[in-house]
Chains A and B, each alone.
Chain A
Amino acid sequence: MLYSVAKLVPTVAQADAALDSRPPLLLPMLVVVPLATALLIAAAPAARARTIALLGTLVALVGALAAMLVFRWGEPGFQLACEFSWLSHLGINLSMAVDSVALMLVALTALLGPICVQASATAITDRVKTYYAWLLILQAAMTGVFIARDLVLFYICFEFTLVPMFILISLYGSTNRKKAAIKFFLYTFTGSVIALAGLVYVAWFNSHLSPAVINAVGAELWQTFPKLGKWTFDIATLEQAAQLMSGRQQAWVLLALLAGFAVKVPLFPVHTWLPLAHTEAPTAGSVILAGVLLKLGTYAIFRFCLPFCPVAVVEYAPLIGVLCVIGILYGGLICWVQTDVKKLVAYSSVAHLGFCILGLFALNHAGISGSILYMINHGLSTGALFLLIGMIYERYHTRSMKELGGLAARMPVWATFMVFFTMASVGLPGLNGFVSEFLCLLGAFQASTAWGSATGITAEGALDQGLWGSAGAAVPGATPGNLGPWFAAIAGIGMIVAAMYLLYMVGRIVWGPLVEPKGHDHAHDGDSAHSALPVDLCGREVGVLIPLAVLCIALGVYPKPALDALSEPVKSVVMTVNAARSTVEPSAMTTAAKEEAAQ
């Protein structure tokens, strides 16, 4: 059976593109500039590599800022569209465009670029050219994922991120780097190949759609999506087509997509590559891994799973919610018994991204908005934590909490930043983490059909109805869904666990009596290894942390612009999902709708 889930909002304003006076090549530039810089680095002498890399990433950052400036934030749909024909006869084109979600993540990627370059200044002294070149290529690939509007382009970029990351880990990582790199590559690669199968299936399904089916849904769809029923990899078209799949087909596609994307996120129980990769990667690698690479998974779930298979998503949301909740508590508790501080932060990502996915699968406005903000915020705060740990590692060459302690006495500036970003990570209100975490939990809390209908009867009405819970009770803040308060409550325990392990970490390495590794003495240390670094942070290191700290405060104190900007894309996803919901769950229909149906 085919479900008629037509979304009549045109998503790509291609007609407007001609009238658009904005620079059309802005988005491709964001990919090309890092790539060109990488080539330049390969050609230039090693001593200049970092300078060139820094300039290149800064140019890309300026480009991203320019894109944010010309982007019309209030408008729905994708903007700054740009398309080059590539393998057109196969329906594959280099088409790029961004909505506010993608643009925010592009900006995050661009921001982390120069930060990573600067953070590597003293950490990477060997094979510098290779390092920076691959770092830049990685940035290009990640940007490509976010701006792609063609499935093949998306997938190529998505997979290509593995190569630079593999090289960064296996060449510049610590002791166990080979194993970590291989595991990272094979694990995520295996998953993505399955996801590819799912994506190709959607394309195949579209190419085999009979015109009659499409006409049954609505002939006007042809105008907006002329490629419906033809062989194409245009994401907007496939999004429409995929919704015509039966519930069973959607379930399989969802499974395939999640196989790829959930590994990337990573969702419990497919997370085990992450701690290893994080621990072994060089600092900048960890920052990118936590900051952007994991977000490829969450972004892909938002971009593909939700709108492609809404029916299956509605059906399986509780299952995924359970996995998230397990991940939050399980990951959090594991953090608590780590001795390697980097591994602790790595496992914290498992817990944190559990919140993110939980919010996403709340399938309501608060949850999804919170989840997208979570992607940004986690990138900022966890990225910063990895930077801070990297700074310690450069000085002491250990990450073991048994060998380090009370560093506040030695490095007050570092300690200040450490406490700050820990608090951001704990989700202290006023800093960025809170807004997203609260909204994710609120989304999960609201999303339950058990609350009753969401028709917005006042308290007065509820009183007349008698007890809460029966149909028609006053629950204006509830949304349909299958999660509900218990998911939020149990996931909320994760907030306590987060405080436990993060304060344990801070209590261990920041506070307490000073402990430094044996044989380590700054005063007499004259060898070249650390002569470049002062006892406390140097200007370059502070400069790396300041932008992140400023953004943490800004997003915590004034998240409104971001929330407003996310409104449109989230609204369209929620609409798609709710339309699907009414077809699968008649019980989710509002009382008013039921009455209408009865008449």
Chain B
Amino acid sequence: MILSNPLLHTLAQSGFPQPMHSATLAHYLVVSAVMFILGLIGFLTRRNLIIMFLCTELMFQAAGIAFVAFGRFHLDFSGQTFVIFVLTVAAAEAAMALALVVLLFRRKETLDASEWKDLRG
């Protein structure tokens, strides 16, 4: 039935439970992967520094979801501990990054990332 879908077929063959059952590790991982890819695509395609920054946050959180999911799966709390740690750091880092963005904006009155090429070799 559903196995006619080739992707789900592959997943089922590699030991994943069938869909419509309760949420499993695979679900979380899929969500995480999707989020990460969205973030990545956003980061690669957009030029606006703030959007790009948001995209990195997206990737960050995707990794966080994977962490928590694995932690739950292995019944090991270090995954969750780590995520909390990362969240803390991310908060600080967000503050820093936005401050930097503001400074950069003040310099050139634009948020276009391609305006900044000072590190060219």
Check A-B contact in the complex, CB < 8 A.
no
Q: Which residues of B contact A (CB under 8 A)?
A: none
